[in-house]
Amino acid sequence: MSLRDGLRGLAWRLAGRDVSAEDERLLELFRNRTELKRELDALDEERYQLLDRLKLQEGATMRVQEQLDALEQFLGRPEQGYRCLAHFRLRGVWRIAARRVQHFSADLTRQQKDRERRQQLGAFERSQRDRLAQLDRELAEANVLADQLQAEQKLARQRLSELRGFWNLLRRRRLEEEVANRAARVDAALTELTDLSDRRHAIESEGPPPFEGLSLEGRRAVNLAVIAFAENLYDRLAGSGVAQLARQSMLARVYDCDYGSADDCLAVMKAAERAAGDLERLQEDLPDIKARTDRMRRTASYRGEGDAVPVPESLAPSRDERQPPPVNVLLEEYWEVHRALQR
């Protein structure tokens, strides 16, 4: 069958005319051809994307290889070896301090979430108890009213059954009207009881609300404490100069760093080694961190009402003439503190 015949069969089918089994097979082939072409186009597009990513990866690999070659040549000079060792040891101190700040932030965030969740559950339970107590009072009043109306209705019907004779006709009519009116009130009271019981069951069946995450006040409190901890770490390492040297090691390449002679580099490495050990064994000084947090809270300001990260300039550290000049750890981004803050 030719292509023209196939197209003719397709036109007949669209026009509602019967086609043969051969025409059906040809039509199915056209459908399959269209689907295959669509899939081929998609595969071509994916292939081009993968080629682009491969080129980018090759470029990144070449840059890394160039850096490794340059570092190898740099390390090949004996006079540079001590500088490299000191440089990367200082970077190690920075990484340890940054990790401690991250862990402190994670622990504090978890504690704050647990505290706020408990407060949320406590408020929900108190509200639920108050609403149930109010409904219980309404139920008690509705029960009293319903019992009273039912008792009056029973007594009225008993009296109505006792009124016989034509001379009680008027009294019987008045009593029948009272019974009818009271019946409506009884039905309304029973309906009210049912509604109140349903409302009480609905309140008892309520689940606690979902926890939407830390509140703005909670995030601000965590952030100030994290900044205070970072400041505490800086003060612990500032006396030996390791804090400043560690920051410089993160800002400059190894080729651009100069720590002096071989003896000077050895001294830096020993100081960095002691600092790393201190950081690994460090126990948080919670009273000091709290005092720093309280000090920052008194001066902290925020760019917007919904911001949780304070303006760095509003966190001027306290001055002590016996200590080195104060450093704003948030402004100078010590220990990668920005990464540990809650947004």
**DSSP labels for 120-189?**
HHHHHHHHHHHHHHHHHHHHHHHHHHHHHHHHHHHHHHHHHHH--SGGGHHHHHHHHHHHHHHHHHHHHH
pLDDT of residue 18: 55
Class of 122-205 in CATH: mainly alpha
Q: Most distant CA pair in the chain: distance in Å?
A: 133
Residues 229 and 21: their CA atoms lie apart, in Å, by: 81
CA gap 77, 70 in Å, rounded: 11
Give, for all 343 residues of the chain, the pLDDT tens digit.
444 555 555 555 555 555 566 666 766 777 777 788 888 888 888 888 888 888 888 888 887 777 666 666 666 566 677 888 888 899 999 999 999 999 999 999 999 999 999 999 999 999 999 999 999 998 998 888 888 888 888 887 777 777 777 766 777 777 778 878 888 888 888 888 889 999 999 998 888 999 989 999 999 999 999 999 999 999 999 888 899 999 998 888 777 778 888 888 889 999 999 999 989 888 888 999 999 999 999 999 999 999 999 999 888 665 554 455 578 999 999 999 999 999 8
pLDDT for 302:
94
* pLDDT the model gives residue 74: 60
Cα 217 to chain centroid distance, Å, stands at 15
Cβ(159)–Cβ(182) below 8 Å: no
pLDDT at residue 282, as a whole number? 85
Q: Delimit the domains of the chain by residue range.
A: 3-73, 81-119+214-340, 122-205
Cβ of 335: how many Cβ atoms within 10 Å? 30
Residue 225, both tokens: 């404490």
CB 241 within 8 A of CB 271: yes
User: How far apart are the C-alpha atoms of 335 and 270, rounded to whole Å?
Assistant: 20
Place of tokens 């409302």: 199
